[in-house]
Amino acid sequence: MEKTHQETYPLYIPLYYILYLKYRKVKRQSATRKMERLARKIGPVGFVPEGEGQWTVEVEGEIPNPTEHINRSALWMDEDLALSEIQEIIAGIEATKKKLDAKDLRYTSTAASFIPRMYTEYSEKKNSWENAWCFRHADIQKGQNILDIGGASTAFNFFLADKGCSVTSIDNDWGNCGIVYNMNYVGQKMGWECRAIDRDAGQPLPFPDNHFERIFSICVIEHLTSPDRQNLMRELGRVLKPGGIAAFSTDYDNDREVLVFDKGLRFGYREKFFHDVVDPSGLRLHGNTTLVDAYPLKNFLGAFFLRKD
């Protein structure tokens, strides 16, 4: 089904900005197609060999829920979503959505799009789990200064602002639908402290050291190249305040046919996880440090938390 202009862009985004987004989309798509052709031609380069350092394993039968683990896969998603404290957070996000709906202000789906039909039931369920799980275990308090990576215009970011936090999102608007403009616009209209900066995650962050109490990155880091991911993690470790917590979710994509970059993190390799994420950041795992969760080798989610001493 063809996307309509009204579905793609909020009505309040000015024409000059939409034209800029369309121009940038053409350039980006052309570059991406080139990289995909190259990836098909040369095959995987620099990938961790199959089975090396693997901490997700295919198992048979039920696996006991390690309820004390906050760093975990979403294997027990349904059980987690049934928890009263998780349901309360989800209800809060829905309440924020209703406030925005009442003022005809937009927020994105899990696909970083404003298109309603891209809000699939299963994707929204997964997103509810990762948002609520990360919020629940990041110990959010009113007035905290929060950095988000890659989530401009998400209902979750607006929920954080609605809770009285100051939220700054770094996002390159890969879908070219105006999510950076929209977040700044919504913040002004709602009187919330939230803003978005159009910037690639691999670039140095434009903030001083020890600037944020909390950091969120919901399903973003697995989309970065290994060098960009390491650069980002170094920067996150720099701008996080001592005692601060960084919460992440990531998905794994063993079934993906073409990997444009080395996205070895998608395959659930422990060595890759520490090499690309934990070690460059200079942070430590917050919560359980033994990663024992098992999950079938296919698309799935995981969440983990890092802390600055």
The string of DSSP letters for 149-179 reads ES-TTBHHHHHHHHTT-EEEEEE--TT-S-H
At residue 12, the pLDDT reads 95
SS3 108: strand
Mean pLDDT of 139-160: 97
The Cα 139–Cα 245 span in angstroms is 8
Beta-ladder partners of 201 = none
Q: What percent of the chain has pLDDT over 70?
A: 78
pLDDT confidence band for 54 (50 / 70 / 90): very low
Mean pLDDT of 34-52: 56
- Asked whether the predicted pLDDT for residue 158 surpasses 60, the reply is yes
Element (H, E) at 301: strand 300-307
| Structural domains in the chain (count) | 1
SS3 292: coil
Q: Do residues 197 and 188 touch, judged by C-beta distance below 8 A?
A: no
CB atoms inside a 10 Å sphere around CB 271: 13
* Token pair of 132 as six digits: 């609520």
CATH number at residue 285: 3.40.50.150
Domain extent, residue 17, equals 5-307
The Cα 231–Cα 170 span in angstroms is 14
Mean pLDDT of 79-107: 97
Range from 135-149, 175-189, 278-292 carrying the lowest mean pLDDT:
278-292
Could you tell me the pTM of the whole model?
0.88
The Cα 116–Cα 68 span in angstroms is 36
The Cα 244–Cα 233 span in angstroms is 14
pLDDT confidence band for 25 (50 / 70 / 90): confident
